Amino acid sequence: MYILKQTLCVSVLLVGFLMGPVSAADKVAGEQKAANCVGCHGSKGKSSSGQWPNLAAQPAAYLINQLNAFKSGTRNNPVMQAMAASLSDDDIKNLAAYYASLSPVSAGGDVDPAKLGQNKATMCLGCHGSSAEGNGQFPRLAGQQPDYLLAQLNAFKTGERKSGPMQAFVGSISEADMKALAAYFGTIK
């Protein structure tokens, strides 16, 4: 009986040990997988064009949500849907861990509209974090490409991109304010 218990204990420990590394996110594996992403999202998650979002320092939970949304088709973008189609759950977790671990970057942008946007930005920070650094399911906006931010705000407005909170929110924001907000967030880090 004693020996049986011992063996059971050891096997439970062994299984726990073997499974641990498999289910935990693996940044190194994520970095290797990210070789397929650098062409658009840039090295270290800083993209060089407003068509492609920066991914650096984006919260892992948000990245996982978006990659799954592309994969299932609930977020519609042909390029990213094709990219996400071949990613396994582990790939997604690892990529998210990798990008979340990178240092924040700043896209920069026009200073004048940014000043206007700064005054309006307070209403966004309750969800997106006090420095717009993102939090869990809420994406980082700080330093994001202004053209990308504006495109997403418009996509929420037309309903092309679905999100309860954002669709409700952008309904009351003018085109000029959206531009100013996008410019402001692009300039901070």
The contact set with ligand HEC (CB under 6 A) reads: 36-37, 39-41, 51-53, 55, 63, 65-67, 77, 79-80, 83, 95, 123-124, 126-128, 137-139, 141, 149, 151-153, 163, 165-166, 169, 173, 181
Residue 10 or 28 with smaller CB distance to ligand HEC: 28
Residue 41 or 93 with smaller CB distance to ligand HEC: 41
Q: Smallest gap, in angstroms, from Cβ of residue 15 to ligand HEC?
A: 31
Q: Smallest gap, in angstroms, from Cβ of residue 72 to ligand HEC?
A: 12
Residue 29 or 173 with smaller CB distance to ligand HEC: 173
Q: Smallest gap, in angstroms, from Cβ of residue 25 to ligand HEC?
A: 13
How many CA atoms, within 13 angstroms, populate the side-chain half-sphere of residue 5? 2
CA distances from 102 to 32, 95, 149, 151, 164 (A): 14, 11, 20, 24, 29
Q: Which residues have C-beta within 8 Å of that of residue 166, sequence separation ≥ 6?
A: 156
CA 150 to CA 174: how far, in whole Å? 12
Residue 29 or 127 with smaller CB distance to ligand HEC: 127
Q: Smallest gap, in angstroms, from Cβ of residue 111 to ligand HEC?
A: 18
CA 41 to CA 147: how far, in whole Å? 14
Q: Smallest gap, in angstroms, from Cβ of residue 20 to ligand HEC?
A: 24
Q: Tokens 């909170």 correspond to what residue?
A: 165
Q: Smallest gap, in angstroms, from Cβ of residue 98 to ligand HEC?
A: 9
Q: How many CB atoms lie within 10 A of CB 181?
A: 27
List the one residue out of 112, 184, 102, 105 whose CA is nearest residue 146: 184
Residue 29 or 151 with smaller CB distance to ligand HEC: 151
CA distances from 156 to 1, 25, 52, 111, 166 (A): 63, 31, 17, 25, 6
Residue 15 or 53 with smaller CB distance to ligand HEC: 53
